[in-house]
Amino acid sequence: MYSEKVLQHFYDPKNWGRLDNPDGIGEIGNPTCGDVLKIYIKVKDNKISDIKFETLGCAAAIAVSSITTEMIKGKTLDDALKINKEDIAKELGGLPPEKMHCSNLAEEALRLAIENYRTKINN
């Protein structure tokens, strides 16, 4: 059902946990399946210098969260925003159709974290 890469990121998630004093936080949940994802970012020189996540959800939700943090760490904010759910699923070697909504959660949580950061610096 799941690719080897999904299973790797589920069993050994990268960047799991919270950041102290994050520059931005994005939190999203899916009421249908109950998955909840929270992404914390640190920004330096307009790049994501550090990122962590906490996910309450299935194997796909955890794997998607983990791979997303790896994909965007070090990217500029604008480049990070270009990553979409299809990119995330492809990086994992695909997801079953009924689990594609998990990659959407990661894309949305990341967008919210960046928006949260930009709101803070513009106020």
- Give the pLDDT confidence score for residue 93 in this predicted structure: 93
Helix (H) or strand (E) holding 54: strand 47-56
- Residue 43 CB burial class (10 angstroms; 0-12, 13-18, ≥19): buried
Q: In this model, does residue 102 exceed pLDDT 90?
A: no
Tens of pLDDT, residues 75-101: 999 999 999 999 999 999 999 888 888
- Give the pLDDT confidence score for residue 119 in this predicted structure: 95
Mean pLDDT, range 95-122, rounded to an integer: 91
Q: In this model, does residue 30 exceed pLDDT 80?
A: no
**DSSP code at position 33:** T
The catalytic site residues sit at: 33, 102
Second-level CATH architecture of 4-122: Alpha-Beta Complex (3.90)
DSSP-based three-state secondary structure for 90: helix
Tens of pLDDT, residues 34-62: 889 999 999 999 999 999 999 998 899 99
Domain edges within the chain: 4-122
Convert 53-88 to b/e letters by CB count within 10 Å (16 or more is b): bebebebbbbbbbbbbbebbbebebeebeebebeeb
How would residue 104 be classed by pLDDT, with cut points 50, 70 and 90?
confident
Read off φ and ψ for residue 73, nearest 5 degrees: -60, 125
